Chains A and B, each alone.
Chain A
């Protein structure tokens, strides 16, 4: 039972480069999320989606883009990487919002140098 799978686990980017963080889930969850975790700062919501074709901004969306063409996949795109985007990124999914726990991937550690 795979759950939520994120790739890659680690990545180093140069300033201005682009990349896509992949996230896929096999639990048929409608809701998916991207969070970033900075040291000592907890988790901040970047984007979320309540179903295929529907996405919405979270607390810190600037510098990122997402798409949700299928129920399973929710990729996060960084267009012009900046040092401020150095962080650990977590993808998560849930059946809904209310009274539903989140299932998390193992994270992607990204460094922008």
Chain B
């Protein structure tokens, strides 16, 4: 079965610092999705990556998918308290199955 490894499990950063979260699969992916979950709430879609080498940005968040389509990174520039939450990567390994999710990375941003 498809498994996604996320690292780190948790992260505490000072406001204004940059950070990176990684998501790794042992299999080539059809699509890689990043979601954010605020504590006690549902998941909000951030970005979807489909092509090897693809990179997308939204405000201060940039996501990349490597050429082999097995690893993705999520980079936050100049972190703010509003970035705090749990970041989950989700992936579809076959193109016709429900998303499988990683265990998540819990991000705290301190002043």
Identify the A interface with B (CB < 8 A): 4, 33, 35, 40-43, 45, 48, 58-59, 90, 92, 97-99, 101-107
Contacts and interface: CB of A to CB of B under 8 A. Distances in A.
A7 B40 CA distance: 15
Interface residues of B, number: 28
Contacts of B104: 40, 42
A5 B90 CA distance: 22
24 contacts: A4-B42, A35-B101, A40-B103, A40-B104, A42-B103, A45-B98, A45-B100, A59-B1, A90-B43, A92-B43, A97-B96, A97-B97, A98-B30, A98-B31, A98-B96, A99-B31, A99-B48, A99-B50, A102-B43, A102-B45, A102-B90, A104-B43, A105-B42, A106-B42
A4 B44 CA distance: 12
Contacts of A35: 101
Nearest to B99: A102
Contacts, number: 57
Contacts of A103: 45
Contact of B42 (A33, A97, A104): A104
B48 A43 contact: no
A101 B48 contact: yes
Contacts of A104: 35, 42-44
A41 B88 CA distance: 11
Nearest to B103: A42
A84 to B, nearest CB: 18
A42 B106 CA distance: 11
A59 B4 CA distance: 14
Nearest to A31: B98
Contact of A42 (B41, B88, B97): B88
B55 interface: no
